[in-house]
Amino acid sequence: MPSKKTPFPKNFAMISIIYGLISFVLMVLLTLAFFYISGSGNSPVISWNYSILIVAMFLGIRTYQQKIIKGNISFQEAYVSGVFVGITASVFFSFFMIFYSKYIDVEFIKNFVSENTIINNKKVSIEEIKQLQQQIQSISPIEIGIYAFGQLLLLSLFLPLLIYIFFKHKKNSDNEQ
């Protein structure tokens, strides 16, 4: 049974923005803590940030379901609300990564390129080292921000589907009892 008709865009936008900003703030704090504890990083989005985004999406969708529509949530409502949380966090976090890689962790781009080279091929010749140095100089903090945005956006397009399935499964198991 579909949910009650509510002015969907008006009601979900504020909740999604709030949870997106909460996710962004926690992701920034974890990234900075990681930098100050272990030094320069090598990935724009550390794995803990994925967990924060998952929890923020779940809580955003749950809040929308419980406080706004007070009942069943449609796939459209769950998916769009979750994606909007992810997009909000992604946009703000990408701007943070531009600032972070330019001013806070100036070795970040070098470590990012070096780590990807090591992952792709174990042996590196002298020519490849020269190419690597050129590649390091050609990458800008804006490209790091775009990369971080892309990582989080891809996750943001997939996770709301899983969260909706969880809510549907939970509702069906509640109805069976």
Indicate whether 90 pLDDT > 90. yes
Q: Can you read off the two tokens belonging to residue 118? A: 């090591």
Q: What is the pLDDT of residue 89?
A: 95
Dihedral sign for Cα 70, 76, 79, 85, please: negative
Average pLDDT over residues 128-133: 70
Indicate whether 16 pLDDT > 90. no
Q: How far is CA 133 from CA 42, 49, 58, 106, 152, in A?
A: 16, 29, 42, 15, 27
Q: Which residue has the higher pLDDT, 171 or 166?
A: 166
pTM of the model: 0.79
Average pLDDT, the chain: 80
Indicate whether 162 pLDDT > 80. yes
Q: What percent of the chain is modeled with pLDDT above 90? A: 29
CA distance 33 to 17: 24
CA distance 116 to 154: 19
Average pLDDT over residues 75-102: 91
Which one-letter amino acid corresponds to residue 1?
M
Which one-letter amino acid corresponds to residue 57?
M
Residue extents of the structural domains in the chain: 8-105+141-176
- Closest by alpha carbon to 89, among 39, 17, 2? 17
